[in-house]
């Protein structure tokens, strides 16, 4: 790889897209540079489960041919991207980070993947994740852990840790992840990236291997707010193949990201999502971000959402209950792993042996929790009560949005923790999503924006911005204005300032 070609991996998606459109570089050259980067460093990072070099180069050459013919192309045509291994991609291994799907090659594309292809985005491969998106550190992958590029001894967050690490390590300028309880925003915060959970139903779930159907949502990882908005616009929109897809126009996220103005906006600081339990460095950077919003012209007030304190226990009844139902399809009869099929064992024995061998400990834990919560005699006491709490949380959001345009909090209580530090303490692991879960229960939109590094350890800190359903553009307006101010301070986006590997 030449020095000039290597420099392509340091460009933001917008910068690379401009160079491609101007003919300064070809899509094949940009793709090769990123594939070379992956080959050079991913043995240390572990961001990818499968690199589709041949498919990526074929897609890049197709973009170059179409551009040479003068065809109109999308704004991200030729830009490489890493895709979380929970979205089906025709003919490409898709495992959801689990041994139970090892070697499965889907016969169809997820709608998100189809829209990426239609937009000329080059998919480099499938990224590592916590098995079936159940985890906050990417240590629950059945294949290997992923390392945080800022400190290889620390986690990148989860469950979309592979996607976050790929962007943070300059292996891809963009990535797609999924967010069920914070699985885009939490790793974005820990890796110094912009990560967005769109409004539930704003991005199709067709072809997204389900964990919790009422919570799962795909969204973008990027180094800048504008890059995230460009990717959001490509993958969002109504899909008749998804019964939960919203039939409404995509909010004007790109224009909002480029506005760089929050004058007159009302920002609410959530009282219940700050203070006790948050690292001092995280709290410091959060308070500085809030002060900066005020200096940029926003009106900042404190808002109380009293039921947010019950979000974590409610989530860990609702999500496991839905996972218990969704994962029942992995029965060794139709596809995926099959164990104990020696011609003697009965169907139930084969199912039991396959699930014992194919599911990891965390997945089993959540299936058992969910099955218990849905069982006769306990449904009303557990799952039913959790859904009532969910309603109260949504009412808290609705009341807050009567007072303010967006809500803010730290994205995570801590910076990236060390690999292995929480693997034997599920509760400590679950607390990583303390601030992100409420937005999933409500269904609104939320973003994590880098707001600096902790003075204690030099690791990234994320600011969470939350907005009502279908008001995703507010995230990008606030995020874009803050980012512009930070760029003046830092001389560039935080994601471009990370320690090089």
Question: Of 98, 183, 204, 324, which residue is the catalytic one?
Answer: 183
- CA 153, CA 147: separation in Å to the nearest integer? 7
Asked if residue 436 has pLDDT above 80, the reply is yes
pLDDT of 500? 73
Asked if residue 4 has pLDDT above 80, the reply is no
Beta bridge partners of 362: none
Backbone φ and ψ for 89, nearest 5 degrees, come out as -135, 120
Average pLDDT over all residues of the chain: 96
- Which helix or strand (DSSP H or E) is residue 366 part of? helix 361-374
Active site residue 245: no
pLDDT of 168? 98
Active site residue 99: no
- CA 244, CA 106: separation in Å to the nearest integer? 22
In the block, residue with structure tokens 């034997």:
424
Active site residue 204: no
Would you place residue 1 in the very low, low, confident or very high pLDDT band (cuts 50, 70, 90)?
Answer: very low
Q: Residue 418 has what DSSP assignment?
A: B
Helices 472-490, 225-235: axis angle to 10 degrees equals: 150
Write the pLDDT tens digit of every residue in 68-111: 999 999 999 999 999 999 999 999 999 999 999 999 999 999 99
Domains of the chain are 3-306+398-496 (3.90.1300.10)
Would you place residue 5 in the very low, low, confident or very high pLDDT band (cuts 50, 70, 90)?
Answer: low
Asked if residue 335 has pLDDT above 90, the reply is no
Q: What CA–CA distances, in Å, run from 223 to 9, 137, 336, 425, 480? A: 12, 20, 35, 32, 12
Would you place residue 2 in the very low, low, confident or very high pLDDT band (cuts 50, 70, 90)?
Answer: very low
Contact 450, 197 (CB under 8 A): no
Largest CA distance in the chain: 73
Asked if residue 230 has pLDDT above 50, the reply is yes
Residues in the chain: 501
In the block, residue with structure tokens 């594309």:
109
Q: What is the number of other CB atoms lying within 10 angstroms of the CB of residue 176? A: 28
- Which helix or strand (DSSP H or E) is residue 112 part of? helix 111-118
Helix, strand, coil fractions of the chain, as percent rounded to 5 = 45, 15, 40
- CA 444, CA 189: separation in Å to the nearest integer? 19
Asked if residue 401 has pLDDT above 50, the reply is yes
| Rounded average pLDDT over 353-372 | 95
Helices 27-45, 53-68: axis angle to 10 degrees equals: 160
| Rounded average pLDDT over 221-246 | 98
Percent of the chain topping pLDDT 70 = 98
User: Residue 432: which of 200, 189, 270 has the closest Cα?
Assistant: 189
Question: Of 14, 84, 137, 204, which residue is the catalytic one?
Answer: 84
Write the pLDDT tens digit of every residue in 441-473: 999 999 999 999 999 999 999 999 999 999 999
| Rounded average pLDDT over 331-339 | 87
Q: What CA–CA distances, in Å, run from 439 to 22, 139, 195, 220, 399? A: 40, 24, 14, 16, 14
Question: Of 26, 98, 136, 159, which residue is the catalytic one?
Answer: 159
Query: What's the angle, vertex CA 134, arms to CA 375 and CA 350, rounded to 5?
Result: 60
Asked if residue 499 has pLDDT above 80, the reply is no
Secondary structure (DSSP) of 458-500: --EEEEEEEE-TT-HHHHHHHHHHHHHHHHHHHTS-GGGSSPP
User: Residue 406: which of 494, 476, 310 has the closest Cα?
Assistant: 476
pLDDT of 334? 82
User: Residue 364: which of 127, 100, 156, 119 has the closest Cα?
Assistant: 100
Asked if residue 3 has pLDDT above 70, the reply is no
- Which helix or strand (DSSP H or E) is residue 176 part of? strand 174-178
- CA 480, CA 242: separation in Å to the nearest integer? 31
pLDDT of 179? 98
Give CA torsion, residues 277, 285, 134, 383, to 10 deg: 50
Check residues 185 and 377 and name the one with the higher pLDDT.
185
Contact 80, 173 (CB under 8 A): yes
- CA 501, CA 487: separation in Å to the nearest integer? 22
Q: What CA–CA distances, in Å, run from 375 to 18, 107, 343, 365, 382? A: 56, 35, 33, 16, 10
User: Residue 246: which of 277, 217, 286, 275 has the closest Cα?
Assistant: 217
Asked if residue 346 has pLDDT above 90, the reply is no
Write the pLDDT tens digit of every residue in 263-294: 999 999 999 998 778 999 999 999 999 999 99
Question: In the sheet that 299-303 helps form, which strands lie side by side, from edge to edge?
Answer: 48-51, 122-127, 80-84, 174-178, 218-222, 194-197, 445-453, 460-467, 406-410, 266-270, 299-303
């Amino acid at each position: 790889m030449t020095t000039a070609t290597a420099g392509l991996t340091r460009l933001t998606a917008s910068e690379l897209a401009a160079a491609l459109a101007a003919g300064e570089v070809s899509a094949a050259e940009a793709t090769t540079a990123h594939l070379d980067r992956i080959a050079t460093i991913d043995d240390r990072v572990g961001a990818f489960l499968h690199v589709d070099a041949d498919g990526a180069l074929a897609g890049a050459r197709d973009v170059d041919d179409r551009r040479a013919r003068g065809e109109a192309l999308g704004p991200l045509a030729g830009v490489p991207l890493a895709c979380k291994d929970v979205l089906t991609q025709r003919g490409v291994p898709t495992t959801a980070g689990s041994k139970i799907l090892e070697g499965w090659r889907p016969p169809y594309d997820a709608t998100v993947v189809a829209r990426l292809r239609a937009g000329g985005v080059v998919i480099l491969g499938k990224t590592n994740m916590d098995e079936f998106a159940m985890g906050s550190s990417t240590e629950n992958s059945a294949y290997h852990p992923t390392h945080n590029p800022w400190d290889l001894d620390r986690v990148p967050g989860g469950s979309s840790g592979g996607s976050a690490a790929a962007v943070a390590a300059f292996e891809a300028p963009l990535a797609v992840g999924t967010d069920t309880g914070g699985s885009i925003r939490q790793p974005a915060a820990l890796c110094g990236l912009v990560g967005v959970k769109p409004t539930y139903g704003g991005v199709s779930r067709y072809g997204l291997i389900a964990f919790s159907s009422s919570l799962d949502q795909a969204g973008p990882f990027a180094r800048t707010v504008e890059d995230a908005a460009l990717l959001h616009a490509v993958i969002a929109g109504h899909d008749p193949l998804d019964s939960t897809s919203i039939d409404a126009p995509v909010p004007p996220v790109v224009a909002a990201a480029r506005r760089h103005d929050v004058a007159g906006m009302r920002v609410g600081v959530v009282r219940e999502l700050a203070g006790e339990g948050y690292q001092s460095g995280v709290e410091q950077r959060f308070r500085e971000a809030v002060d900066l919003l005020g200096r940029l012209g926003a009106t900042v007030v404190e808002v109380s959402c009293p039921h947010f304190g019950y979000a974590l226990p409610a989530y860990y009844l609702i999500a496991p209950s839905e996972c218990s139902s969704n994962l029942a399809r992995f029965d060794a009869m139709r596809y995926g792993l099959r164990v104990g099929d020696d011609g003697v064992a009965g169907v139930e024995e084969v199912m039991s042996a396959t699930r014992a061998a194919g599911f990891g400990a965390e997945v089993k834990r959540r299936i058992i929790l969910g099955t218990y919560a849905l069982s006769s005699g306990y449904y009303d006491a557990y799952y039913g009560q959790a859904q009532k709490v969910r309603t109260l949380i949504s009412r808290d959001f609705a009341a807050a949005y009567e007072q303010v345009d967006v809500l803010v909090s730290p994205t995570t209580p801590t910076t990236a923790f060390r690999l292995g530090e929480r693997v034997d303490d599920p509760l400590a692991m679950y607390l990583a999503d303390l601030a992100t879960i409420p937005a999933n229960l409500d269904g609104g939109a939320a973003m994590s924006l880098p707001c600096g590094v902790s003075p204690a350890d030099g690791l990234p800190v994320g600011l969470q911005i939350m907005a009502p359903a279908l008001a995703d553009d507010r995230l990008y307006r606030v995020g874009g204005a803050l980012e512009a101010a930070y760029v003046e301070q830092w001389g560039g986006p935080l994601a471009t300032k990370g320690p090089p590997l």
